Structures are given as structure tokens and as C-alpha cells.
Amino acid sequence: MSNPEQFERIFVELVVQRAEKKGFNKSEFARKVWPEAHPKSSAAKWAAIRGRVSKTGNPQGVLLSDAMRIASILDEDVTYLIACAKYLSEQSPDK
């Protein structure tokens, strides 16, 4: 894995695809990941992670604790999601 940022973007895209497949919309998924946050705050955080909004112009990174919450909501093992993202990043022509 030569590009950690690319790996993280692939991880996020993988999560987005799996969340959509399970029928979650963006705001519902965000509320489940960060139930302690205000719904608008959780939606803004998820949008920033997906790369849609950011003060810096770069997508927000994914904390390991957030990755674990995400995996739990998707009923998946976090290590499996990480392994899938690693495999996909190694197959990507943009390595």
C-alpha cells in the first residue's frame, strides 16, 4: 500500500456502497455512527469524510474508532473492511 490517502478514500467508498446496499440514506447512516452528536453535526461530519465538504479542501480522515463504529453498523468486521480496501487499493491503477 503505497498511498495511505488513496487507501482511505477507497475505504470510504467501500463503506458508502455497503451502507447504500443496506438501505441507509446518508443522514440516517451518520446518525447511527455518531448517535451522541446533533443530527446536523453527524451529517456534516459524514459529508466531510465522504469528501463533499471541508474547510481545508481535503476530505476529513477516518478515525479508527469511527471505522469500528461504521463496521458495527454494517454488521461487518472492521478488519475485513480494511482488508477489502487494502486489496482494492492494490488493484487500483492509480497506486
- Residue 42, C-alpha cell as written in the block: 453527524
Domain tally for the chain? Answer: 1
pLDDT over threshold 70, residue 62: yes
The band of 47, judged by pLDDT with boundaries at 50, 70 and 90, is very high
Q: What is the pLDDT of residue 80?
A: 97
3-state helix, strand, coil in the chain (%, to 5): 65, 0, 35
pLDDT over threshold 80, residue 55: no
Indicate which CATH number applies to the domain containing 62.
1.10.260
Domain span at 61: 4-91
H or E element at residue 47: helix 39-50
Query: CA-CA distance, 80 to 19, in Å (whole number)?
Result: 15
pTM of the full structure: 0.88
